[in-house]
A and B are shown apart, each in its own frame.
Chain A
Amino acid sequence: GESVGLHLPTLSVQEGDNSIINCAYSNSASDYFIWYKQESGKGPQFIIDIRSNMDKRQGQRVTVLLNKTVKHLSLQIAATQPGDSAVYFCAENGDSGAGSYQLTFGKGTKLSVIP
């Protein structure tokens, strides 16, 4: 049976290095994308978003890149810190046409920062 979800992709990085987390999305009609950070025992926390009419957006220490041609998103974290250790999810937000915005999440990547 499907067990991929029980074994999250894991990325281990040294403190101070840059991290790159990748995500493939499925719906070519999606026009809005969000990265969330989820720490153990907590709800997802908004990090950064990007619309489909952009290919790059920068925040504080984070950058999101969008490649619509191959339906790929990436999250870059500069100077990774121990507090960045968490599971990171990308989510696509496609308007169903009813004016609502259902979020569809990827499987997540676990980031572990080595002090």
Chain B
Amino acid sequence: DAGVTQSPTHLIKTRGQQVTLRCSPKSGHDTVSWYQQALGQGPQFIFQYYEEEERQRGNFPDRFSGHQFPNYSSELNVNALLLGDSALYLCASNSGRGETQYFGPGTRLLVL
């Protein structure tokens, strides 16, 4: 039973560029959430997708957008990258009826 997978594992971008991160949820899960984790801090909620729609959003600017596909996988897009966007980006999944979110290994993004 595959857990949550994310790609790529590491990424280096420069300011102003755009990035797309990908996530495949745990088998049987239909809800995907994205979190940003700065060094030394806890994860911060970005948004959650269910039935291919953004269901809830945290306190992040519109530069952060996402998408969920019919197979429940998801993408996180960040436009006009800033140095402060450097962080570990985590994807978590759960089933629509469950609350426990299971996390992937994350994508480490470095913006230069």
* Interface set of A (CB-CB < 8 Å, partner B): 5-8, 32, 34, 36, 42-46, 49, 89, 91, 93, 96, 98-108
Residue pair A103, B40 in contact (C-beta under 8 Å): no
A34: chain B residues at CB < 8 Å are 100-101
Q: Please give the distance in Å from A22's CB to the nearest CB on chain B.
A: 15
Contact A102/B100 with A6-B39, A43-B90 known, Cβ cut-off 8 Å: no
B62: chain A residues at CB < 8 Å are none
Residue pair A107, B41 in contact (C-beta under 8 Å): yes
Residue pair B42, A107 in contact (C-beta under 8 Å): yes
Interface CB pairs A-B, < 8 A, 9:
A5-B42, A43-B90, A44-B43, A46-B102, A99-B55, A100-B31, A100-B50, A101-B94, A103-B92
> How far is B38's CA from A108's CA once the two chains are assembled, in angstroms?
12
Residue pair A106, B101 in contact (C-beta under 8 Å): no
CB < 8 Å A-B pair total = 68
* Interface set of B (CB-CB < 8 Å, partner A): 4, 31, 33, 35, 38-45, 48, 50, 55-56, 58, 90, 92, 94, 99-106
Residue pair A89, B42 in contact (C-beta under 8 Å): yes
Residue pair B103, A45 in contact (C-beta under 8 Å): yes
> How far is B45's CA from A105's CA once the two chains are assembled, in angstroms?
9
> How far is B42's CA from A91's CA once the two chains are assembled, in angstroms?
9
Residue pair B40, A98 in contact (C-beta under 8 Å): no
Which listed residue, A5, A8, A32, A89, touches B38 by the CB 8 Å rule? A5
Contact A101/B99 with A43-B90, A44-B90, A96-B56 known, Cβ cut-off 8 Å: yes
Cβ-closest chain B residue relative to A2:
B41
- In the A-B complex, the 5 residue pairs with the smallest Cβ-Cβ separation, listed nearest first, are A105-B42, A43-B103, A5-B41, A100-B56, A6-B40
